[in-house]
């Protein structure tokens, strides 16, 4: 688990590791350097190793943790870089995405990261589009499949509002032409020349099965009820995605959902979690992909009830066990705590 906290008065990035059979996480390890660190992303490399990317001092960084030792940090991008996301698949490799300044706007980049012991190197870094961006490209997310597919999705403002775009990485390291992931409902406002369209943000991808990719994001196509959780699936490694699916059930329709997160495993299990306050306070809710739709929403036991529970992160291991972490705040002015829950697979 990687996170950001300011326990010593400065925002920094931390990593804690829990071996699969262990009851507890090891002590938190600081991964960011002397300056403020933000928005860490972690990928499991196997054999007890982890890659962590983060933003620090206007730059994007990555390092590998191996048995309690940290590699020297590797700088990923150019000027004003950040919003790092990392993904790994054995046989395909470790990839990092980030954004950096290109003219007036941020541009999304992707690179393969070579790992040789504690020596790291950036290989074939390329922007998702060669042209200088016409507006912001923000918060890229990666999926790397077992069959070698590499897909990146990001927030893109070129159309005058925020859309989710994605692109598949070719064998030569270039990217296919970006495609829209979120579907748009054109309403009366657009016809009247007001605004440019609905919003969407914080897309997250996860590799699923051998060659699938699942995507989830916050979507404001229904502007009256705030952000909803939408998802889409690719069955061809991320080259194309199917229709958008609303994840929250009808009991959550009339309120906003926040902070969606996704997890998937090689067996094809996909889970999405988010926070919403349909029960009067902010709780963590969970849904499973089932056939062509989604399960009823489950208020996660231990992550719902008094206080506020928000910002879930989740992982599914290869046995189908669910690992969920979230931020808990007992009340106004109370400190935040990170909680963790293990959900054993019903198949065992």
| Cα-based angle 218, 134, 38 (whole degrees, multiple of 5) | 50
Nearer to another protein, 117 or 280 (CB): 280
Sequence-distant (6+) residues with CB within 8 A of 21 are none
Residue 31 within binding range of another protein, rule CB under 8 A: no
Question: Which of 170, 153, 243, 169 lies closest to 205 in space, CA to CA?
Answer: 153
Nearest distance from C-beta of residue 156 to another protein, angstroms = 11
| 8 A C-beta contact, residue 287 and residue 294 | yes
Three-state secondary structure call for residue 10: coil
Distance CA 77, CA 59 (A): 7
Of the residues 48, 195, 293, 305, which one makes contact with another protein according to CB under 8 A: 195
* The one segment of 118-126, 146-154, 165-173, 197-205 that binds another protein by CB under 8 A: 197-205
Neighbours of 39 (CB within 10 A): 18
Stretch that binds another protein, among 113-121, 193-201, 238-246, 288-296 (CB under 8 A): 193-201
At 188 the three-state DSSP class reads helix
- C-alpha–C-alpha distance, residues 48 and 53, integer Å: 17
Min CB(6)–another protein separation in Å: 6
Q: Which of residues 104-163 bind another protein (CB under 8 A)?
A: 138-139, 155, 157, 159-162
Tell me, residue by residue from 173 to 192, as one string, x for binding to another protein by CB under 8 A and - for no binding: --------------x-xx-x
Please pick, from the candidates 220, 221, 269, 278, the single residue that binds another protein as defined by CB under 8 A: 220
Stretch that binds another protein, among 19-27, 225-233, 287-295, 297-305 (CB under 8 A): 225-233
Interface stretch with another protein, choices 14-22, 223-231, 317-325, 338-346 (CB under 8 A): 223-231
Residue 28: both structure tokens together: 């938190």
DSSP state of 283: E
3-class DSSP assignment, residue 296: coil
Q: How many CB atoms lie within 10 A of CB 73?
A: 19
Residue 250 DSSP code = G
Binding residue for another protein, selected from 49, 112, 169, 259, defined by CB under 8 A: 259
Q: Is 30 in the site for another protein (CB under 8 A)?
A: no
**Interaction mask 72-91, another protein, x per CB under 8 A:** -----------x--------
Nearest distance in Å: CB 138, another protein: 6
- Binding of residue 36 to another protein (CB under 8 A): yes
* Shortest Å distance, C-beta 257 to another protein: 9
Binder to another protein among 85, 107, 182, 198 (CB under 8 A)? 198
- Kind plus residue range of the DSSP H or E element containing 119: strand 119-127
CA 76 to each of CA 80, 84, 130, 140, 285: distance values in angstroms, whole numbers, following the listed order: 11, 9, 18, 14, 34
Quote the CA–CA distance of 92 and 97 in Å, as a whole number.
15
Which residue, 65 or 276, has its beta carbon nearer to another protein? Answer: 276
Would you count residue 345 as binding another protein (CB under 8 A)?
Answer: no
Burial 327-341 (b: 16+ CB within 10 A, else e): bbeeeeeeeeebebb
Residues that bind another protein (CB under 8 A): 6, 9, 11, 36, 38, 83, 138-139, 155, 157, 159-162, 187, 189-190, 192, 194-199, 201-202, 220, 223-227, 255-256, 258-259, 310
């Amino acid at each position: 688990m990687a996170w950001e906290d300011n326990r010593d008065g400065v925002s920094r990035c931390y990593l804690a590791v829990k071996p699969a059979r262990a009851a507890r996480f090891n002590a938190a390890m600081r991964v960011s350097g002397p300056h403020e660190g933000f928005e860490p992303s972690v990928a499991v490399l196997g054999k007890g190793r982890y890659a962590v990317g983060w933003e620090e001092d206007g730059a994007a960084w990555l390092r590998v943790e191996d048995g309690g030792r940290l590699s020297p940090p590797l700088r990923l991008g150019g000027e004003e870089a950040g919003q790092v996301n990392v993904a790994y698949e054995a046989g395909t490799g470790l990839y990092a995405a980030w954004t950096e300044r290109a003219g007036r706007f941020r541009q999304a980049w992707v690179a393969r990261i070579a790992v040789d012991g504690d020596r790291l190197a950036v290989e074939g870094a390329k922007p998702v589009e060669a042209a200088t961006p016409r507006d912001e490209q923000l918060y890229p997310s990666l999926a790397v499949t077992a069959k070698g597919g590499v897909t990146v999705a990001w927030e893109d403002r070129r159309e005058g509002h925020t859309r989710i775009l994605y692109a598949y990485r070719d064998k030569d390291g270039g990217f296919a032409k970006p495609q829209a992931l979120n579907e748009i409902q054109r309403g009366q406002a657009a016809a009247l020349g007001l605004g440019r369209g609905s919003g969407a943000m914080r897309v997250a991808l996860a590799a699923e099965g051998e060659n699938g990719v699942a995507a989830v994001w916050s979507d404001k196509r229904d502007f009256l009820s705030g952000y909803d959780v939408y998802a889409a699936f690719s069955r061809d490694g991320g080259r194309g995605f199917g229709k958008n699916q609303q994840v929250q059930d009808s009991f959550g329709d009339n309120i906003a959902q926040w902070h969606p997160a996704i997890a998937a495993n090689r067996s094809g299990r996909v889970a999405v979690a988010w926070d919403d306050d349909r029960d009067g306070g902010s709780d963590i809710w969970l849904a499973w992909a089932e056939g062509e739709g989604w399960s009823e929403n489950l208020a996660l036991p231990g992550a719902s009830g008094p206080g506020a529970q928000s910002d879930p992160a989740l992982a599914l291991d290869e046995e189908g066990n669910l690992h969920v972490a979230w931020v808990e705040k007992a009340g106004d002015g109370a400190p935040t705590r990170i909680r963790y829950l293990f959900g054993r697979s019903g198949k065992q």
